[in-house]
Amino acid sequence: MAPLSINAASPDPQLMNLPWDRPLEKWPVRLLAALPRGISRHTVRFVNVGDQVVAIKETPEKIAWREYDMLVRLGKLGPPMVSPYAVVTGRTTPGGEPLLSCLITKHLPFSLPYRALFAEDIDPSMADRLIDALAVLLVRLHLLGFFWGDVSLSNTLFRKDADGFAAYLVDAETGELHDELTAGQRSHDLELARVNIIGELMDLQAGGLLDPEIDVIEIGCAVVESYEQLWEELTGEETIGLDQRWKLTARIDRLAELGFDIGEMSMVHDAGNEAFVVRPKVVDAGHNQRQVKHLTGLDVQEAQAKRLIDDMRTFASVQGLGDELNQAVARLWILEAFRPTLELVPEKFRRQYQEAQLYHEILEHRWYISEAAGEDVGIDTAVRSYVTHVLQQREHKATISDHES
C-alpha cells in the first residue's frame, strides 16, 4: 500500500498536520474555515492552512490527478478560475482501510456559491445577473478551447463586480482542452448550462430563496441568448466597405466596452463588393482590468475597473489635470480619493469586502442619497450613511440568518 503523499508545487508543511487518516466529514470543526459551501457530489471542506484557506475535495485518485492537471494547464491560459494547490494520495484509516484521495485548491477570497448569494439577498434581478456572468465565463472558456462538460451554477463561484457579478470556474473534473472547439461542443455545453440552471433555480424556488412567480425556464434559456450574442460580437465576421473603415474602429470600441481587446484580426479583401471581411482571431478579456493594473497596481474585476477608470477621469477633471489618464494622475487619485474614502469605513467591514467593490458601492450610495437630498452630500456624509444603512444592515441580516440556521 502506497504511503501518504502530498504533491504540490509549493506545499505548506502544515498540510502534514491535518488528519488525513479520517474522512473529511469527520474532521474536527476547529480546523474548518467558516465559509459557505455550495452543492457538490463530493465531500468538500474549507480548511485553514497557515495564513491561507484551501478547499479540500475527496475524490478517487485518478480523478483528483486529472482535475489537478487540467487546472494547471487551464490556469496558464488565464481564465477566471480557482487555483490548484495539491493532490493528497495514499490515505488510510488507523486500521489500514483506504480513503479517497483529495484535490486541494486555493480558496478564492470574497467569492460565494450561488445559494449563499440568494440566502444573503433575495433580489429578483439576482438570477439574471448571475446568468449573464456565467455566460461571459463560458464564452471566455470556449475561446480558449476549453470544453467544460458540466456547466452549472453549482460548479461556479461568484464575486460581486460593481452592479453585477464575475464568475469563476471551480470544478474542472469533466473538462477537456482543445486547440479549438467545434460548434457541436459549444452547443453541448450551452444545453447543459440551460438544463442545469433551470433545475438549480427550481430548487431555489422550492427552498423559498427565489420568487415562485419568476419564470426559471425563461432565465435558463436566457443564458443561451446572452452567450450567443457575446460570441457573435467577439468572433463574427463583418463586411466593411472600403469607404467605411470607421466601422472597424467602432467594432474595436464595442469590444473594449464589453471588456475585450482584439489581439489579432483577419481582414480579407472582397474585390467583388469593393469591401473587406473582418473577423477577430484572438480576443483577450480584461481590457479595463489591465488598464487599472497598469495605472494603479490594483487587481480588480472588469466592471469594477470600468467604474474606477470613470472615477479617475472625474477626479482628473475636477482637479484640472486634463483628460489623459496616466500613472501620475492615478497615484494622486489613490492618495486623495480612493484610500481616504476607504479609511473612513470601520476596519471590520473593510476586511469583508474587496476594496474596489466597497469603493464602488460607496459611490453608488453617494449618488443615491445626493439625488434624494437635491445636492451633493459629500463623501464623509455618504460613507457614514453607507456604513449605517447598508453595511450594518447587512451584518444584522447575516446575524439573524445564522441564528435561524
Q: Please list, in sequence order, all residues whose beta carbon lies within 8 angstroms of the beta carbon of residue 396, skipping any fewer than 6 positions away.
A: none
Is position 361 within any domain?
yes
Three-state DSSP class for 96? coil
pLDDT at 90: 94
Tell me, yes or no, whether 141 and 229 share the same domain: yes
pLDDT at 9: 80
Is position 300 within any domain?
no
Tell me, yes or no, whether 102 and 119 share the same domain: no
pLDDT at 80: 94
Tell me, yes or no, whether 223 and 250 share the same domain: no
Tell me, yes or no, whether 224 and 135 share the same domain: yes
- Rounded to whole angstroms, how far apart are CA atoms 292 and 284? 16
pLDDT at 331: 95
Distances (CA, A) of 134 to 19, 140, 205: 36, 10, 20
Domain termination site, one of 235, 270, 302 = 235
pLDDT at 405: 44
Is position 142 within any domain?
yes
Count of domains forming the chain? 4
CATH number at residue 218: 1.10.510.10
Domain range for 273 is 238-285
Tell me, yes or no, whether 132 and 199 share the same domain: yes
Tell me, yes or no, whether 28 and 100 share the same domain: yes
Which grid cell is 402? 445564522
Tell me, yes or no, whether 90 and 122 share the same domain: no
- Rounded to whole angstroms, how far apart are CA atoms 337 and 330? 10
Q: Please list, in sequence order, all residues whose beta carbon lies within 8 angstroms of the beta carbon of residue 218, skipping any fewer than 6 positions away.
A: none
Query: Roughly what angle, to the nearest 10 degrees, separates helices 126-143 and 183-206?
Result: 160
Tell me, yes or no, whether 132 and 231 share the same domain: yes
The tens-digit pLDDT sequence of the chain (405 residues) is 678 899 988 878 889 889 999 999 999 999 998 887 767 778 999 999 888 899 999 999 999 999 999 999 999 998 999 999 999 999 999 999 999 999 999 999 999 999 888 887 667 788 899 999 999 999 999 999 999 999 999 999 999 998 889 999 999 999 999 999 999 999 999 999 999 999 999 999 998 888 888 899 999 999 999 999 999 988 888 888 777 878 878 888 888 888 888 777 777 877 666 777 777 877 778 888 999 999 999 999 999 999 999 999 999 998 998 878 999 999 999 999 999 999 999 999 998 889 999 999 999 999 999 999 999 999 999 999 999 999 988 776 655 445 444
Tell me, yes or no, whether 118 and 229 share the same domain: yes
Distances (CA, A) of 117 to 11, 37, 158, 192: 32, 11, 9, 22
Listed in sequence order, the DSSP H helices in 36-84 are: 61-75
pLDDT at 158: 95
Tell me, yes or no, whether 361 and 374 share the same domain: yes
Is position 308 within any domain?
no
Tell me, yes or no, whether 92 and 143 share the same domain: no
pTM given for the model? 0.85
Is position 293 within any domain?
no
pLDDT at 400: 47
Is position 310 within any domain?
no
Q: Please list, in sequence order, all residues whose beta carbon lies within 8 angstroms of the beta carbon of residue 250, skipping any fewer than 6 positions away.
A: none
CATH number at residue 69: 3.30.200
Is position 213 within any domain?
yes
Domain termination site, one of 53, 74, 106 = 106
Domain termination site, one of 72, 106, 140 = 106
Tell me, yes or no, whether 154 and 244 share the same domain: no
Is position 169 within any domain?
yes
